[in-house]
Structure 1
């Protein structure tokens, strides 16, 4: 068995106060694979109800996978469900799974006669690994932190939702040719060092190309307030130019993101901004990595493009030391 773009192994997803562990999450997150090593005849008998009390058939498992997938969309679409049968699967059961929408991997074999005596107790029972991890449904709310995906494929989504951090990063002097400074503020100096190595404006311009740009009301109000307070004249001019290119939309305070518990990195402003992106089926562009990780810890995957932060710098140049390029 081979997979494309694997992003997780035994990755847990919260669902209905329980947890479902997916054997392999691949295709960048758009496919969930379950590996099943049981005897093909045993699978058929279990699906017919001839199993121990509480033992789930692959039909039961498929239904639970689909329900869970709907609550954990990737790029606003439920992940594709793939069942890989290492020891094969009988054709009638395979057809039932296909009718549910499951993609079948593994050899499909003709149904054998009803000679259940040939099936051992071990073959009829779940393997230890499947009972303890692969089909684990527990009360744990812990979600493993994987690396944030900052290079997502965006060809299918043509709308971007811009966070305050992105708006500031686009208009600051630092990303518009005024980068050779050592500031009194250590944070700004570090950002300038990063900017000289990895210019942000180029990244954002490439990302914005042929996309519709949305800014929710909360992001717009906060952005304008910050620029009016600490922005320089050139930064204010760039703000006016950028705002002329975007569409201001109302906040949409509903959906999965709005159910995140406030506290730590989960702030009301960020929650509203990311919720607006979710409800408009956008990719949210942001430097707020902390929010994305905190949301993941609460079981919510954000559709996001993460970039490095850049702060307004024009007025800070007055007390900064100019350095050689």
Structure 2
């Protein structure tokens, strides 16, 4: 018993260290939730021996280990909720549809999985004690009832609505449960490129040695249940918007110079331009929308064509401060910070890996806003680069997803941003943006959203 308890403590410390240092995809709220649960478990284990010396040891660290294991996988992004119930306020319809618990249903992870919003339910139980129809002796209603409640909640939700519910059984399931999942819910095996092993380290307080902790997930069973009757299915909604897609024409010469700086041309050439020349643009876009598109926000377009990003930093640094303050006024410090950021990390190099091999889309709102800003604030070279960039992007109609538009419009959740990010959400394309205030506001609602952050750049009149 003592050895098992000490092992559980070491696992707690290892998982805690992993959450604190290795899970960069978590927002502060999700991280604090996980750390609170881990530390609560560690506190329980520390009190257990003195208070319950003869009681059987029941621990939850295995479940938390499995949750963290999933969060580490590269196919997971946009994590918005961890180990919390979906609140009743996020669900619509009859209370009866979300089961007996008026607080909602418990979901282990709300996130984006390969571009799709999903809910994860995680189990670390011994397969022998996972009951399909329940067990009256232990007041267990059974896995079938729990899944029914989760699916009802998923269908009743708008803003948090997933395309599927994924069940992760870290120790596998027995045949009757597997058969029930297939027959009652049309569950299919979820072929994910998840690693089968998890390694952690636990250093003793004296620092004299380090214990290597290993966990195998070779027996894990992962199944996916599609949530039916979803209005926001991308293939259906996207077809309705394809008639408004603008197919650009490329007119700029490949040898054309853009303000004496060639990284811009190199950056644009990294994108997949095959869609632009495709004779049947609609089906090509639908095929690529699953994983091969990037949705550009206005901030991203400005950053790409900005004089700061295109060889203008030496000229700016050589300009007297008084002249720069006169030109940029209250934005002087903001612009200088961007110049120094560009010196350290050129943005074309940073974003090159993001857009490489991807097709670029922008919605009509972004297109018109970008043109207006460049017209008012851009210099001749910035205008030339903007024209060239637009010729390599596909303009799609403003078509925000239903779940995005279900969020209340507020100062932090402005309608324009809901349209821009929501259009990317509909196409299952991550939105490249510097607008992290909006991303945080969406995350605070519990919605998972696929986004890529970039550092801002301003137009300089270059």
For Structure 1 versus Structure 2, the TM-score category normalised by the shorter chain is 0.5 to 0.7
Q: Please state if 1:162 is matched with 2:296.
A: yes
The structural deviation recorded for 1:210 is 2.3
Q: Distance in 2 between matches of 1:178 and 1:58?
A: 61
**Structure 1: distance between partners of 2:110 and 2:430:** 24
> What pairs up with 1:173-212 in 2 under 5 angstroms?
173-180=307-314, 181-182=316-317, 183-184=324-325, 185-212=332-359
- How many equivalent residue pairs? 264
Q: 1:250: Cα distance to partner?
A: 1.1
Q: CA deviation at 1:80?
A: 2.6
- Say whether the 8 Å CA contact 1:188–1:311 is kept in structure 2: yes
Preserved contact between residue 122 and residue 169 of structure 2 (Cα < 8 Å): yes
Q: What is the CA–CA distance in structure 1 between the aligned matches of 2:308 and 2:370, rounded to whole Å? A: 17
Larger helix percent: 2
2:120 aligns with one of 21, 32, 36: 32
| Shift, 1:274, TM fit | 0.9
- TM-score if structure 1 supplies the norm length? 0.67
Structure 1 residue 275: Cα displacement = 1.3
Aligned partners of 2:360, 2:461: CA distance in 1, in Å?
25
**Unpaired stretches in structure 2, ≥5 consecutive residues:** 1-61, 93-103, 191-216, 221-287, 318-323, 326-331
Name the structure 1 match of 2:367: 220
Does residue 1:269 correspond to 2:416, yes or no? yes
Which string of whole-angstrom CA distances, capped at 9 and with x for unpartnered residues, describes residues 122-154 of structure 1?
xxxxxxxxxxxxxxxxxxxxxxxxxxxxxxxx9
> How big is the shift at 1:280?
2.1
**Highest RCO, 1 vs 2 (Cα 8 Å, sep ≥ 6):** 1
Report the CA distance between 1:242 and its aligned residue: 0.4
- For residue 148 of structure 2, the aligned residue among 56, 63, 82 is 63
Question: After superposition, what is the alpha-carbon deviation per residue over 1:234-264, rounded to whole angstroms, capped at 9, x for unaligned?
Answer: 1001010001111111111441111222223
Matched, 1:16 2:101: no
Task: Tell me the residue number matched to 1:323.
Answer: none
Equivalent residue for 1:83? 169
Offset at 1:224?
0.8
**1:41-98: per-residue Cα shift (whole Å, max 9, x none)?**
6x53x72573688x53211222344556676999x8535321345xx86532343135
The runs of 5 or more residues in structure 1 that have no matched partner are 109-153, 316-325
Cα distance in 1 for partners of 2:309, 2:334 equals 15
- Is this contact kept in 2: 1:163–1:286, CA < 8 A? yes
Which secondary structure state, in structure 1, belongs to the residue aligned with residue 313 of structure 2? coil
Give the corresponding residue for 2:407: 260
What RMSD in Å do the two structures reach over aligned CA positions? 3.8
TM-score, with normalisation over the residues of structure 2? 0.49
Check conservation: 1:25, 1:33, Cα contact below 8 A. Answer: no
